[in-house]
Amino acid sequence: MGYSQGRVRNPEPGWKVRVAMQWTGDPKGARHKWQLLLLCSLQLVWAAAGLAWGAAAVDQAPTIVLIQPDPQGGIGYRVSYYVDVPLETYWRFKTDFDNSFLLTNHYIKAHRVVSREANAVITENRYSFGPDAVYRWRTVVMNGRHRLEYELLNPAECGQKFHFGFIQARAEGERTLVTQVAYLDFFGVSLWARYPWSGGLKDFLRSTILWEQQTAVNLEWRYATRKK
């Protein structure tokens, strides 16, 4: 699919205590205790909130929600967001697998189409995070439903147990509402999914979504008149 999530290294044990000590400079003082309590409280707040961030409304942040994971384990998430181009324009943009614009995403180091068979496309990507491996994706394109179903074909080589999901697009006036659902598992995935700062799932998805929104608008001239 081009920009699916891969493995992210998790903080080593004891990171909260060390961070609090670096901030306060006084590990035995009252300020240190307050900082540590605040960090623990933030974790509880994120868990209690059900990990729903933003709202999938026009001109607002995307909705990112943890959902029931696959029976195999790991995590599941659903993200919804708007792209400011019509549905058919977005769909041509999204299904143009043999492109170079993916390399403008700072998370993607390399991308190529390996093969096509009927409505399935095999692509290979290298990413700027996680294991230095080639991620081989199989994406099934359902043009009539504006739906993509994707699966990582070599998860073990990429430090994962499995990774699959779908992307559904639908018209919302002159804009497109995109919903992605994913299921994946790798060591530390639950911590990554709940990590609220830079480097966590929320940060990764927001950055990727912003890139896609801007790129689709910038390339609207190319895909607005192109035939399927």
Q: What pLDDT, in 10s, does the model give residues 133-187?
A: 999 999 999 999 999 999 999 999 999 999 999 999 999 999 999 999 999 999 9
| Judgement on whether residues 100 and 115 belong to the same structural domain of the protein | yes
Q: How far apart are CA 143 and CA 95, in angstroms?
A: 9
pTM of the model: 0.74
pLDDT at 129: 86
Judgement on whether residues 132 and 219 belong to the same structural domain of the protein: yes
The CATH code of the domain that includes 182 is: 3.30.530.20
The residue segments making up the domain with residue 16 are: 12-48
Comparison of pLDDT for 116 and 24, the residue scoring more: 116
CA angle (10, 14, 18) in 5-degree steps = 110
Whether 121 and 163 map to the same domain: the answer is yes
- At residue 118, φ and ψ (nearest 5 deg) are 55, -120
Domain count, the chain: 2
Q: Torsion angle of alpha carbons 76, 214, 123, 80, nearest 10°?
A: 20
Better pLDDT: 6 or 94 = 94
Same domain? 41 vs 142 = no
Distance of CA 82 to the CA centre of its chain: 15
Residue 32 confidence (pLDDT) above 70:
no
Helices (H), the chain: 15-24, 30-48, 87-94, 189-194, 201-218, 220-223
Q: Are residues 99 and 36 in the same domain?
A: no
Average pLDDT over residues 198-225: 95
Look at residue 212 in the predicted model and tell me its pLDDT: 97
112 versus 24: the higher-pLDDT residue is: 112
Report yes or no on 63 lying in a domain.
yes
Residues 87 and 182 grouped into a single domain: yes
The answer to whether residue 18 scores a pLDDT higher than 80 is no
Q: Classify residue 7: in a domain, yes or no.
A: no
Q: Which SS3 state, helix, strand or coil, does residue 128 take? A: coil
Do 148 and 95 have their domain in common?
Answer: yes
pLDDT for res 225? 72
Read off the pLDDT band of 69 (50, 70, 90): very high
Q: Is residue 187 domain-shared with residue 86, that is, in the same domain?
A: yes
Q: Are 39 and 145 in contact (CB under 8 A)?
A: no
* pLDDT at residue 1 in the model: 47
- Does pLDDT of 15 surpass 60? no
